[in-house]
Structure 1
Amino acid sequence: MSARRKLHIGMSLAPTWLSGDAWRRPDSNIEGLFSSDFYLDIARRSEAAHLDFVFCPDTLFLRTEVLEKGPGFSSLDPTMLLASIARETSRVGLLTTISTTFLPPYVVARQLQSLHWLSNGRAGWNIVTALAGHENFGLSAMPSAEERYERAAEFTEVVRLLWQSYPEEALMMDRANGRFADAALVRPIDHSGSHLKVKGPLNLPTYARAPIPLIQAGASPEGRNFAASVADAVFASTPDREAAIDLRRDLRRRAEGHGRSPDAINLMPGLSLYLAESRAEAFELFAETHTRADKARAFATIREMTGLDLSDWPLECKVTTAELPPPPEHPRSRTHADLLRRLIERDSPTVEELLWRPEVIGSAHWQVIGTIDDAFEAIRDWVEAGAIDGFIAVPGGSVSSLRLVFEALVPRLAEAGLFRTSYSGTTFADHLGE
């Protein structure tokens, strides 16, 4: 990374510090989970630390089978939540998640442009195709990955055309002559494609002072190609440095293939952080958080992703490449399946080690369990290796772990010249452009 470009850092508003048994801690504030104040505090701390953005992931379904032990996917609507936060902040970017598989593009274009106006240019769109939830939208099955990304590309183009259909320059606000707008500049898009038919124009003008950054989450071949064509940044599961290096190189190469600068796309993996004053405390925090982890579900995940049934294997037995059957044809997530197979081929972990891996128990995020020094050195190592352009902080285990990110880790990165010490702009696009 050149001296000119510093890390981009976002903070997840998904309360991962409440996952597992962490919500049972006295300081978890679990009672505030469905209150905007719960998240506003994090957004204000993120702004004080000069982070690029706060990020709301989302799902459009509820896993009731895990609800007994924790909140699971219970959540406020991310765009509405960020709209409530917009009024109480002034600089930090507001990144919402909206699926292209289930919702109509006209509604999405309007929601995002509304958030952009309400926040004075700080809205961002995390484009997802979703992995589940089809039953809630009248679909008998999830479309294939190829179909989802084909629709996503068309959907994104339609949203962008709708944003252009009512340009801000059309607004005249001419009281003297009674002309509100120049209607000749407002035009329908008349889109008719393979998946979508939308006339337009949008009934909201574009906030023209800053574009809405587009972020994409996914690392499948289809996801990579789609991201390389439109995204300003990519979130991806990269549990090891080499996976991140490979993905970043591939995204930059694909971006060039789409006629874009390789620097136009930033790789920002999730970074799961279990932080404490000592390594022993950090590992204790991690263990306490996962003390009631569902081993049967973990074994089911391994079986679905690799085809291996390890439920009756001794915990100390190593899992090697020789045991791997051919990859399943239709895993729930090909990205996670590939990462899990990659781990087994590279490390030959024991069954017990496999059960604790982020590829199995979580979203396959890059993970640091340790001190601020450990986290700082890991980040610096990945930066120097050319593995990342930034990361999404996903603190886990406790509120104290969350606050250590704001109060110690980010200042340490800024002191080392790896992150900004103040904002130079006011919009989300400004921050990503630094």
Structure 2
Amino acid sequence: MRRSKRLNIGMSLAPTWLSGNGWRRSDSGTHTMLGAEFFIDIAHRAEAAKLDFVFRPDTMFVNMALLAKGGGFASLDPTVLLAALARETQKIGLLSTVSTMFMPPYILARQMMSLHWLSQGRAGWNIVTALDGNQNFGLDAMPSSEDRYDRAHEYVEVVQALWESYPEKAMVRDRETGMMADPSLIRPIDHAGRHFKVKGPLNIPAFGRAPVPLVQAGASEAGRQFASRFADAIFASTPDMQAAIEFRLDLRARAAAQGRSADDIRLLPGLSLFLGASRAEAMDLFEATHAGADRGRKLAHVLNLIGLDLSDWPDDRNVTVADLPHPFITRGSQTHAELLQRLIAREDLTVSQLLERPEVNGSGHWRIIGTVEDALAEISQWVDEGAIDGFVLTPGGSTGCMHLALEQLMPALSDAGLLRRDYSGDTFAHHLQNP
């Protein structure tokens, strides 16, 4: 049975349509992507489509191995970028990415609440624990996933306490008595924990009309537990529908076990789209984007994730569960390592086939290659099967594909009752709760 609830949909501000060979197209606009107008255009198109939010992922390092071919380059600071977009938009949510590893919680609490005020309730925080960048902050090695999430739990608790330490009602602004603010309502948090010691209070009042939505990305055991406690939504790599169904059911059960409603947490996988006027055109776009992809990099990615060295294997040899090293410790994302293991266990693939799958040749996201009608049909199927609560658009191949996604696919979803036709509120939290 189709759910009556509409989808929560966001648009990535990372120009995924410029990945691979996409940046080499004459219409890519790559020479303007460090300027405000590049992102203002995307935000305007996303808001015109009535999406919940625009979202900027982030890292705190440069991937030198990918730099020469167009990936791995530096990007604008997401919170600064979204502050610029706050004045250029009116309704759409502004979701920034900040790691709990490298920035003191007091600074994050202040920056995010500042963005919330500047946008009048449209800020959101995508919480990441980071996988790299440690050497830029005096750490020789990254802590384990478990230690990073232990730190993240305390970090979020500190940030939330700081947001509550200076309530908006303390700003009385009483001209007759001369009281600007009531100090009796503003309290230090006096936090002293394993990772942080923060006195407080925050030096900016809370925006009282709507909370800052919290989003998290990570599907490991620690990540799921963290999300079930704190997150309003979780980003995920779910390359097949069954993975999404299982993940969503697990998240909802965990949220209920935390005393929350199962509906309080939303699964929003990334959706990689290669759209064309025909299926052949879409496939041509996909193949042109990935033409000349570095086979050695793909092999290194498999080795890094699951410890399996395929460098001497013939392309037509099958990869099976029996070939997987046991045990192994991944040198990459635990989530993506588990996705790759799951793919090998589920499907009978040769080396060449494996290297073309999104778990290896991409970010592990759900991928649709086809027409707008094809994308509408597949999204509708995932909704019917209870696999998703929404998704994050990551169009690929060309600027034109991004335009098709926002200007044709999103209206088609509205016509199908899966996306709002207009906003019913002005804050990011309202959009999530009232899709």
TM-score (norm 2): 0.98
- Structure 1 residues 285-341: Cα deviation after superposition (integer angstroms, max 9, x where no partner): 111111121111110111122221111212122212222221422431111111001
Whether the aligned pair in 2 keeps the contact of 1:167 and 1:206 (CA below 8 Å) is: yes
Whether the aligned pair in 1 keeps the contact of 2:232 and 2:266 (CA below 8 Å) is: yes
> How many corresponding residue pairs?
434
- Structure 1 residues 116-135: Cα deviation after superposition (integer angstroms, max 9, x where no partner): 00000000000000111100
Equivalences for residues 105-120 of structure 1 within 5 A: 105-120=105-120
Distance 1:2 1:293 in 2: 39
Whether the aligned pair in 2 keeps the contact of 1:331 and 1:337 (CA below 8 Å) is: no
Q: Which amino acid aligns with 1:302?
A: V
Q: Which moved more, 1:171-180 or 1:241-250?
A: 171-180
Distance 2:190 2:339 in 1: 42
Number of the residue aligned with 1:331: 331
| Deviation of the 1:418 alpha carbon | 1.1
Q: Which moved more, 1:341-350 or 1:321-330?
A: 321-330
Equivalences for residues 28-177 of structure 1 within 5 A: 28-177=28-177
Number of the residue aligned with 1:397: 397
Distance 2:340 2:363 in 1: 11
| Deviation of the 1:344 alpha carbon | 0.7
Number of the residue aligned with 2:9: 9
Dislocated runs of 4+, deviation >2 Å: 1-4
Equivalences for residues 190-205 of structure 1 within 5 A: 190-205=190-205
2:381 aligned with 1:384: no
| Deviation of the 1:175 alpha carbon | 2.2
SS at match of 1:403: helix
- Structure 1 residues 392-434: Cα deviation after superposition (integer angstroms, max 9, x where no partner): 0000100110000111111111101111111111100010011
Q: For residues 150 and 214 of structure 1, do their structure 2 counterparts lie closer, same or farther at Cα, with a shift above 3 Å needed?
A: same
Number of the residue aligned with 1:345: 345
Whether the aligned pair in 2 keeps the contact of 1:158 and 1:191 (CA below 8 Å) is: yes
Number of the residue aligned with 2:225: 225
Distance 2:286 2:126 in 1: 28
Q: Which moved more, 1:170-179 or 1:127-136?
A: 170-179
Equivalences for residues 212-291 of structure 1 within 5 A: 212-291=212-291
Whether the aligned pair in 2 keeps the contact of 1:319 and 1:350 (CA below 8 Å) is: yes
Number of the residue aligned with 2:414: 414
Distance 2:59 2:100 in 1: 12
Distance 2:412 2:15 in 1: 24
Q: Which moved more, 1:268-277 or 1:324-333?
A: 324-333
SS at match of 1:361: coil
| Deviation of the 1:361 alpha carbon | 2.2
Distance 1:330 1:356 in 2: 21
SS at match of 1:50: coil
- Structure 1 residues 334-356: Cα deviation after superposition (integer angstroms, max 9, x where no partner): 11111001101111211111111
- Identical columns (%): 59
Q: For residues 111 and 395 of structure 1, do their structure 2 counterparts lie closer, same or farther at Cα, with a shift above 3 Å needed?
A: same
Distance 1:234 1:73 in 2: 26
Distance 2:381 2:4 in 1: 18
Whether the aligned pair in 2 keeps the contact of 1:121 and 1:211 (CA below 8 Å) is: yes
| Deviation of the 1:280 alpha carbon | 1.1
| Deviation of the 1:3 alpha carbon | 4.8
TM-score (norm 1): 0.98
Whether the aligned pair in 1 keeps the contact of 2:307 and 2:330 (CA below 8 Å) is: no
Q: Which amino acid aligns with 1:110?
A: R
Number of the residue aligned with 2:179: 179
Q: Which amino acid aligns with 1:342?
A: R
- Structure 1 residues 244-303: Cα deviation after superposition (integer angstroms, max 9, x where no partner): 111100100000111000000000000000111111111111111111211111101111
Distance 1:351 1:209 in 2: 54
Number of the residue aligned with 2:304: 304
Whether the aligned pair in 2 keeps the contact of 1:307 and 1:327 (CA below 8 Å) is: no
| Deviation of the 1:198 alpha carbon | 0.4
**Structure 2: which 5+ runs fail to align?**
none
Distance 1:109 1:381 in 2: 39
SS at match of 1:263: helix
| Deviation of the 1:72 alpha carbon | 2.1
Q: Which moved more, 1:289-298 or 1:195-204?
A: 289-298
Q: Which amino acid aligns with 2:372?
A: I
